Amino acid sequence: MAIIQQIPYYAYISICVDVILVYLLIYRFLAWLKRSYALDLIKGLMLVILVFLASHILSLTTLNWILERFATVLLIVVVIIFQPELRRFLERVGATGQLFTLSSSFPEMKSTATMQSLIRAVDYLSREKIGAIIVIEGQTSLSQYSHTGIQVRGDLNMEMLSSLFWPGSPTHDGAVIIKDNTIEAAGCFLPLTESSITDRSLGTRHRAALGLSEVTDAIVIVISEESGVISLVEHGVMTRYLTKEALQTRLVSLQSQSDTGFSGFSWKNPFKSL
């Protein structure tokens, strides 16, 4: 430790690293809080903390004594309440090796034609009201999910993608996983979200899309079988009622962010993000 402290400008470097790490931790917490369905619980917790501080300032002996006893149990209660969110966070860190992720991990399309094939297939499925769920793999491996379906490993084109979701086909009800600009597998089973969903218009496909995006960095496109509505799901957040133009704009934006953005510190490959 003494040797490290002898490094020139060590004090300034230490302060800078400290500030950056704290900033990233706060950023991650706020980003998680924004996506969390437990926002009201956080507000309640903050209210309890404010009451606790007020009891100290105003010297409310009885209330202060009760809150001090309650504080011991409160930590355990918070862990139990946020157990699903904490588990999803740890699963994502373990799967991607990234602790601080500031941008989406969207694979670069080999050509404009590849992107257009995907958009045209989604538009066709939407117009024909054919239910579909298309998963675009990011940095997190989806092999455990692709193995639940039929291995395809075929070129990504409109005809192939549309036929996999055609009603009556063995892969109609499952998900198609796209990896490295190719169709890796079809008819795959995905984990359903553990979060409560009040919108009755969201079916099993939407729940599966949310469930996968909560534990991986995959981008998921969902087409409703009842309405043909196009939805895009990323990091547990669903954007609905997209047109084909809006979908393409969003996908191009995600690809641009992945190319230029800071992808975070990875303990699996610490030099990857440098």
120 and 249 within one domain: yes
Tell me whether residue 270 is in a domain: no
Tell me whether residue 45 is in a domain: yes
212 and 139 within one domain: yes
256 and 139 within one domain: yes
- Tell me how far apart the alpha carbons of residues 86 and 159 are, in angstroms, rounded to a whole number: 41
Sheet holding 150-155, edge to edge: 150-155, 182-188, 175-179, 132-136, 219-223, 230-234, 237-242
What range does the domain containing 32 cover? 2-96
| 172: Cα separation from own chain's centroid | 25
220 and 175 within one domain: yes
- Tell me how far apart the alpha carbons of residues 221 and 237 are, in angstroms, rounded to a whole number: 12
| pTM for this entry | 0.66
Q: Which two tokens stand for residue 18?
A: 């400290």
Tell me if 166 sits within 8 A of 172, measured CB to CB. yes
Tell me if 67 sits within 8 A of 52, measured CB to CB. yes
Strand-pair partners of 266: 98
| Residue of 234, 269, 229 whose CA lies nearest to 255 | 234
Tell me whether residue 102 is in a domain: no
Residue at which a domain ends, from 66, 96, 126: 96
Tell me if 231 sits within 8 A of 219, measured CB to CB. no
118 and 199 within one domain: yes
Tell me whether residue 265 is in a domain: no
174 and 243 within one domain: yes
Q: How many residues does the chain have?
A: 274
Q: CATH code at 228?
A: 3.40.1700.10
116 and 91 within one domain: no
Going residue by residue through the chain (274 aa), what tens digit of pLDDT does each one get? 556 556 666 677 788 888 888 888 777 666 666 655 556 667 777 887 888 888 888 888 888 888 777 777 777 777 776 666 666 666 666 655 555 554 445 555 555 788 899 999 999 999 999 999 999 998 888 999 999 999 999 999 999 999 999 999 999 999 999 998 899 999 999 999 877 777 888 899 999 999 999 888 899 999 999 999 999 999 888 999 999 999 999 998 887 766 544 444 443 443 333 3
Q: Helix, strand or coil for residue 1?
A: coil
